[in-house]
């Protein structure tokens, strides 16, 4: 199953965020899988090199019963771990979570996500920006989850984040890329990597995002919630590579009318 990755790396360059360099352009979350075994196998099938995690209390009762946890299934030396600030609704909490993450000694990458409310889980742009400002000064390599707003993306660039990650659509919605025009404007202006994070429903959404020219795509639910998570992880891997290569290859212009592929009949 490494063929696709090998083809992609032969035809493509690596991408960078901060001091980190990656071949795979798919980042995959570790939440909501039915089992840890499925989490492990889906990550493997996706070919991802970066996995996101959340930070929570150790469940002391489960631990004392000897129950397994995520870290029994994820080889942290194999994957780059991207801790998120999920569950934070203000800058103080997001900053606190990142400072705790630093003591896990899994690197300097953080995914800053400061949400506004439970119903939409849309990012709170003001709190996000303030958190990013502090965390950049703290020395983190900040990947900022944000709305698909070009102005917000510009402000995040100005405070020194390492990547902007506009949503395709709300977290877990599976609605795909709702505003490709905004993503295109963000891409046109951004001097740093742009990733689509959130909203992917199926493989074509990943291909579409990659065809827009984003550096990479981050997703979770689309794999974890699929009927067959492993098959979907494979599909996402291939869609990501397909979209990237199509972007690099350059699509033909759209035309209103047909243009024959074969020469006109001459006999």
Where in the sequence numbering do the catalytic residues fall? Answer: 111
Tell me 71's DSSP state: G
- For residue 30, what are the contacts with CB-CB under 8 A and spacing of at least 6? 39, 43, 51, 52, 53, 70, 74, 220
First to last CA, the chain: 48
Our CB check for other proteins shows the closer of 70 and 126 to be 70
What is the nearest approach in angstroms of other proteins to the Cβ of residue 61? 8
Please give the distance of CA 49 from its chain centroid, rounded to a whole number: 11
Q: Which is nearer to other proteins, 198 or 239 (CB)?
A: 198
Orientation angle between helical segments 125-137 and 150-158, nearest 10 degrees? 20
Q: How far apart are CA 260 and CA 153, in angstroms?
A: 42
Query: For 145, phi and psi rounded to 5 degrees?
Result: -75, 130
Nearest distance from C-beta of residue 105 to other proteins, angstroms: 6
Residue closer to other proteins (CB basis): 54 or 230: 54
Strands 216-219 and 195-197 turn out to be: parallel
The least distance separating other proteins from the CB of residue 185, rounded to whole angstroms, comes to 25
d(Cα 184, Cα 192) in Å, to the nearest integer?
Answer: 14
Minimum CB distance to other proteins smaller for 177 or for 224 = 224
Measured at the CA of 182, the angle between CA 179 and CA 184, to 5 degrees, comes to 110
Query: Which residue, 174 or 213, has its beta carbon nearer to other proteins?
Result: 174
Closer CB to other proteins, residue 68 or residue 248?
68
CA gap 209, 190 in Å, rounded: 16
Q: How many CB atoms lie within 10 A of CB 60?
A: 8
Strands 109-112 and 141-146, bridge-based pairing: parallel
Task: Supply the minimum distance, in Å, between the C-beta of residue 253 and other proteins.
Answer: 36
Helix axes 229-249, 3-11, angle to 10 degrees: 20
Interface contacts to other proteins, rule CB under 8 A: 29-33, 39, 52-60, 63-64, 69-71, 81, 83-84, 86, 96, 99-106, 171, 198, 218-221
CB of 200 to other proteins, least distance (A): 11
Rounded to a whole number of angstroms, the minimum distance from the CB of residue 30 to other proteins is: 4
């Amino acid at each position: 199953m490494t063929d696709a990755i090998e083809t992609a790396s032969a035809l493509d360059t690596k991408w960078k965020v901060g001091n980190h360099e990656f071949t795979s352009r798919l980042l995959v979350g570790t939440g909501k899988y039915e089992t840890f075994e499925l989490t492990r196998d889906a990550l493997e099938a996706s070919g991802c090199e970066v996995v996101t995690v959340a930070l929570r209390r150790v469940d002391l009762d489960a631990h004392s019963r000897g129950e397994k946890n995520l870290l029994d299934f994820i080889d942290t030396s194999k994957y780059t771990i991207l801790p998120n600030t999920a569950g934070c609704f203000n800058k103080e909490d997001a900053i606190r979570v990142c400072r705790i993450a630093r003591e896990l000694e899994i690197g300097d990458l953080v995914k800053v996500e400061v949400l506004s409310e439970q119903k939409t889980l849309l990012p709170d742009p003001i709190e996000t920006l303030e958190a990013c400002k502090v965390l950049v000064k703290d020395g983190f390599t900040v990947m900022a989850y944000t709305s698909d707003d070009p102005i917000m993306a510009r402000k995040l660039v100005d405070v020194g984040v390492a990547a902007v990650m506009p949503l395709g659509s709300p977290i877990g919605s599976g609605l795909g890329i709702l505003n490709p025009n905004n993503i295109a404007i963000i891409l046109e202006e951004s001097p740093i990597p742009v990733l689509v994070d959130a909203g992917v429903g199926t493989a074509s959404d990943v291909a579409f995002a990659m065809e827009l020219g984003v550096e990479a795509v981050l997703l979770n639910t689309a794999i974890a919630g699929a009927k067959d998570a492993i098959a979907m992880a494979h599909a996402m891997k291939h869609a990501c590579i397909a979209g990237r290569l199509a972007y690099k290859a350059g699509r033909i212009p759209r035309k209103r009318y047909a243009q024959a592929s074969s020469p006109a009949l001459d006999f």
